[in-house]
Each structure stands twice: as structure tokens, then as C-alpha cells.
């Protein structure tokens, strides 16, 4: 992926498997084994939220071990954090909200950026500002019918990624409504969960998605 531009990088990762592993609470010591479990299961996108313990160390470790995987940070709220993630080797910025300053800094550094949106106004504003895709958050308040309505008005190629409470059993309705993929949180990884258990849950998600 390293020779591709950010749009191509995201497209390639989504083509491989449009599921984002959200590793909130991951520690640097857990990162190698957890990352290996995910990569072995087919995951191409890994996000370490910045409210995890020493997240930049985890991102640095993961990017060194898995250079072909799109790895970066979640819960990115400020432009300075974008620079910190970039310095750690991260190539992905995911936010719970749409902050134009965060998006602009990520674009300037050549990173993939997925801002969080919950309304058509936010979605169009984020795309106009250059977002590579949209995190639909929180998915608990964005039903499949809302995704269908958004899909009807947004540019057809827009990557729509519901995040929040997604399980292997809830993906089908969202996909039928037009979701591109998903961000997977505590149903995939929770603090202290072993790499073995993460692998089992990852495989369950992959099988459900491809069913």
C-alpha cells in the first residue's frame, strides 16, 4: 500500500476486507499478538483509539510489524494529535466527529481520514472538505433505514462505515441498506482479551460479513 495515494490505500484495504478493528484499551505489550491475530484473520485496517494506554507506542509497534496493513488512530480530536499519529507511523485518522482542522491536517500529511458524522449536513460537509469516507457514529442512533436514505443522496462511491454496537448479527441489515463496511469495537476487542479470543471473534465477524 505504501506507493498508493490515500484514496487508493483505503480502496485497497476496503476491497480486502471492509472491517476496521477498533482496539480501544490495547496496551503496547499486547499489540504484536493482537495485531497478528487480526492480520491472520484477513483484517486490513486497524485503529488504536487515542484514549488507550500509550496508544502511539502501540501504533508504532503495529506499523513496524504489519507495513501492508492500514494502521492508525481513533478518537482523534485535535490537529496536534494527527501530527503525533503520523510521527508514530500511522496512516489512518478516525474521529467520532467532523473537525475541519483535524481533516485538513490529515490530508496535508497524506493520511487516510474518516471523520464521524451523524447527519446529512455533516456528511456532505465532511466530503466537501476532502474526507475519504464517513464513519456513521453512533450506529445505535443511525438505523439501516437512515443508511439507506443517506446512500440515496450521497455520491455513490462514498464509503459508509457504521460504528457503535455492531455485532456479527447486525451487519446484514446495514449491508442491505448500503453500508460499505463497519468499525468493530468491544464485540471484537476488549481490554485484556487474549489474542486467541480476538482471533476467534475476528473469524466470526469475517465469516458473517462474507456469508
Quote the cell numbers at residue 121: 449536513
Compute the CA torsion angle 161, 163, 169, 171 (nearest 10 deg).
-10
Spatial contact of 179 and 161, defined as CB atoms under 8 Å apart:
yes
Phi and psi at residue 113, to the nearest 5°: -130, 130
Pick the catalytic residue from 60, 105, 135, 201.
135
Q: Is 135 a catalytic residue?
A: yes
Annotated active-site residue in 30, 47, 105, 201: 47
47 has catalytic annotation: yes
What are residue 3's DSSP bridge partners?
none
Distance between CA atoms of residues 136 and 148, nearest Å: 12
Please tell me whether residue 160 adopts helix, strand or coil conformation.
Answer: strand
Q: Which residues are catalytic?
A: 47, 135
Amino acid at each position: 500500500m505504501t506507493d498508493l495515494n490515500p484514496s487508493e490505500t483505503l480502496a485497497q484495504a476496503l476491497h480486502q476486507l471492509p472491517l476496521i478493528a477498533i482496539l480501544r484499551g490495547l496496551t503496547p505489550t499486547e499489540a504484536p499478538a493482537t495485531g497478528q491475530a487480526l492480520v491472520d484473520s484477513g483484517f486490513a485496517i486497524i485503529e488504536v483509539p487515542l484514549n488507550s494506554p500509550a496508544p502511539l507506542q502501540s501504533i508504532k509497534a503495529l506499523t513496524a510489524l504489519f507495513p501492508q496493513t492500514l494502521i492508525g488512530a481513533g478518537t482523534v480530536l485535535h490537529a496536534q494529535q494527527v501530527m503525533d499519529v503520523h510521527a508514530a507511523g500511522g496512516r489512518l485518522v478516525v474521529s467520532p466527529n467532523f473537525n475541519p482542522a483535524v481533516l485538513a491536517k490529515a490530508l496535508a500529511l497524506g493520511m487516510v481520514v474518516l471523520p464521524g458524522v451523524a447527519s446529512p449536513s455533516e456528511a456532505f460537509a465532511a466530503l466537501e472538505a476532502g474526507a475519504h469516507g464517513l464513519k456513521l457514529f453512533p450506529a445505535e442512533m443511525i438505523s439501516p433505514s437512515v443508511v439507506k436514505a443517506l446512500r440515496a443522496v450521497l455520491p455513490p462511491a462514498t464509503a459508509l462505515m457504521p460504528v457503535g454496537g455492531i455485532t456479527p448479527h447486525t451487519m446484514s441489515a446495514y449491508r442491505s441498506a448500503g453500508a460499505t463496511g463497519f468499525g468493530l469495537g468491544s464485540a471484537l476487542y476488549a481490554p485484556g482479551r487474549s489474542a486467541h479470543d480476538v482471533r476467534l471473534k475476528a473469524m466470526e465477524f469475517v465469516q458473517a460479513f462474507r456469508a
